[in-house]
Amino acid sequence: MNLKDFLSRNNTDPKLSELILFFAENGQTIKSGFLKSQNKAGTHNIYGEEQMALDKWADDVLINGLKKTRLVRYIATEEQPGIIEIDNPKNQFGVVIDPLDGSSLIDVNLAVGTIIGIYPGTVLDMGKNMIAAMYILYGPLTTLTFTTGNGVHDFVMDEKGDFHLTAENIKMPDGKIYAPGALRKDYLPAHARFIEILEKDGYKLRFSGSFVADMHQILHKGGMFTYPGIKGKEKGKLRLLFEANPMGKIITEAGGAVSNGKIDILSIKPDVIDYITPIYAGGKKEIGLINRYMNEI
Ligand code: AHG
Ligand code: MN
Ligand code: MN
């Protein structure tokens, strides 16, 4: 069954379906752009990170497409300094986008992705108010994973760019994979204790440098991903709006959990679009453990 039929079979709101299909179509465009350039753009984003030409290109594809279709009112992306408001929009949706996640891996041909969250209105909202979250993973296959709060579903792109259902109502299994970002020498005490427990329990290390790729593996095989707060960088690295919230929504919907180490990330109300947060995302058992360690301090 293709994505369009799946959305209509599930009685998805037609306006939301149109928006999800917009991102699916543009995922194909982004994928086809990977032959363009693997170079750096020579510019930096608001996080001080060097932008790749493809970061900016993917950002332009999505923003220009949304301006043309007027499917949303608000757009916030990892590559833009502020919220873009569309004149005369057809809908009131707000979207948050990480156009290319894992972009430091582009020049070595490892899997990267696009992450999207959809709100009924403003993007400065709690993650739990998202009405849909999705990601597209560009690996040996291009896959699309999404939720509208009615299960998590996987699709694979065919040679024509159409997405076909491969897994419905995914529930994350128990598993022993851990994907820890940052350097061990900078770990804070509760985090160090947590990682030590996982290692003693036989968790296998799997950290690629692409949040989408690592989370997709954890969704299907169990375990947990973290980019923790560290010494001198207590907020960690990942962005609440563009990375933590959409992925957190998907993993929670699949029976897992997401936390900043103390509380559910989806209940944080951001005041700025570039809000940074430590993140722990994965099985309820693992996230419960780090919450306990951190809240004991
Ligand atoms: P982005 O490419 O959107 O800037 O995101 C990179 C993120 C995430 O994908 C990954 O988990 C993490 O940064 C890797 O960071 P390190 O290079 O510090 O390991
Ligand atoms: Mn990212
Ligand atoms: Mn990015």
Place of tokens 């509760």: 190
Is 21 part of a structural domain of the chain? yes
Tokens standing for 230? 């560290």
Please answer whether residues 221 and 177 qualify as being in contact, where contact means their C-beta atoms are separated by less than 8 angstroms. yes
Q: Whole-number mean pLDDT of the chain?
A: 96
Q: How many residues does the chain have?
A: 297
SS3 88: coil
Measured in degrees and rounded to the nearest 5, phi and psi for residue 164 equal -120, 140
Residue 77's pLDDT band (cuts 50, 70, 90): very high
CA-CA distance, 90 to 273, in Å (whole number)?
23
Please check whether residues 130 and 268 belong to one and the same domain: no
Please check whether residues 59 and 193 belong to one and the same domain: no
Please check whether residues 44 and 147 belong to one and the same domain: yes
Instruction: Look at ligand 1, atom 2, and give the residue with the nearest C-alpha.
Output: 102
Question: Is the pLDDT score of 39 beyond 90?
Answer: no
Distance 271 CA to ligand 1 centre (A): 23
Cα→Cα distances 221→60, 71, 170, Å: 34, 35, 11
CA-CA distance, 61 to 28, in Å (whole number)?
11
User: What is the mean predicted confidence (pLDDT) over 146-161?
Assistant: 97
Place of tokens 């360690």: 293
Query: Using one digit for the tens of pLDDT, what is the confidence trace for 81-132?
Result: 999 999 999 999 999 999 999 999 988 999 999 999 999 999 999 999 999 9
Q: Which atom of ligand 1 is nearest to the CA of 102?
A: 2
Is 54 part of a structural domain of the chain? yes
Query: Using one digit for the tens of pLDDT, what is the confidence trace for 194-211?
Result: 999 999 999 999 999 999
Please answer whether residues 279 and 227 qualify as being in contact, where contact means their C-beta atoms are separated by less than 8 angstroms. yes
Strands 177-180 and 224-227: parallel
Distance 239 CA to ligand 3 centre (A): 10
201 annotated to a ligand binding site: no
What pTM was computed for the model? 0.97
267 annotated to a ligand binding site: no
Smallest CA-to-CA distance from 149 within 250, 53, 239, 51 is with 250
Please check whether residues 217 and 246 belong to one and the same domain: yes
29-33, 66-70, 112-116, 282-286 — which is least confidently predicted?
29-33
The predicted structure's pLDDT at residue 119: 98
CA-CA distance, 214 to 218, in Å (whole number)?
6
Question: Is the pLDDT score of 40 beyond 80?
Answer: no
Which numbered ligand comes closest to the C-alpha of 228?
Answer: 1
Q: Which atom of ligand 1 is nearest to the CA of 227?
A: 11
Question: Is the pLDDT score of 137 beyond 90?
Answer: yes
Please answer whether residues 143 and 155 qualify as being in contact, where contact means their C-beta atoms are separated by less than 8 angstroms. yes
102 annotated to a ligand binding site: yes
Smallest CA-to-CA distance from 107 within 56, 54, 174 is with 54
Is 149 part of a structural domain of the chain? yes
Q: What are the strands of the beta sheet with 204-205, ordered from one edge?
A: 204-205, 177-180, 224-227, 279-282, 257-259
Domains in the chain, number: 2
Is 106 part of a structural domain of the chain? yes
Query: Which of 131, 147, 167 lies at the terminal end of a domain, its last residue?
Result: 167
Q: Which residue has the higher pLDDT, 127 or 51?
A: 127
User: What is the mean predicted confidence (pLDDT) over 29-36?
Assistant: 86
Is 133 part of a structural domain of the chain? yes
Question: Is the pLDDT score of 49 beyond 90?
Answer: no
Among 51, 178, 207, 210, say which to mutate for ligand 1: greatest number of ligand atoms within 8 Å of CB. 210
Place of tokens 């079979």: 9
User: What is the mean predicted confidence (pLDDT) over 53-66?
Assistant: 94
Query: Which of 112, 134, 167 lies at the terminal end of a domain, its last residue?
Result: 167
Please check whether residues 146 and 185 belong to one and the same domain: no
The ligand 1 site (C-beta within 6 Å) comprises 49, 78, 98, 101-104, 181, 209-211, 227, 237
Residue 38's pLDDT band (cuts 50, 70, 90): low
Please check whether residues 41 and 184 belong to one and the same domain: no
Please check whether residues 118 and 188 belong to one and the same domain: no
104 annotated to a ligand binding site: yes
Is 172 part of a structural domain of the chain? no
Domain carrying residue 8: 3-167
**Percentage of residues of the chain with pLDDT beyond 70:** 99
Please check whether residues 93 and 18 belong to one and the same domain: yes
Looking up residue 252, the CATH number of its domain turns out to be 3.40.190.80
Please check whether residues 199 and 162 belong to one and the same domain: no
Q: Which residues contact 96 (CB under 8 A, 6 or more apart)?
A: 76, 77, 116, 117, 119, 123, 241, 242, 245, 246, 273
Query: Using one digit for the tens of pLDDT, what is the confidence trace for 163-174?
Result: 999 999 999 999
Please check whether residues 194 and 163 belong to one and the same domain: no
Is 36 part of a structural domain of the chain? yes
Query: Which of 114, 140, 167 lies at the terminal end of a domain, its last residue?
Result: 167
Question: Is the pLDDT score of 46 beyond 90?
Answer: no
Please check whether residues 147 and 35 belong to one and the same domain: yes
Query: Using one digit for the tens of pLDDT, what is the confidence trace for 232-263?
Result: 999 999 999 999 999 999 999 999 999 999 99
Q: Which residues contact 279 (CB under 8 A, 6 or more apart)?
A: 225, 226, 227, 228, 236, 238, 243, 244, 248, 258, 259, 260, 265
Please check whether residues 160 and 48 belong to one and the same domain: yes
Looking up residue 125, the CATH number of its domain turns out to be 3.30.540.10
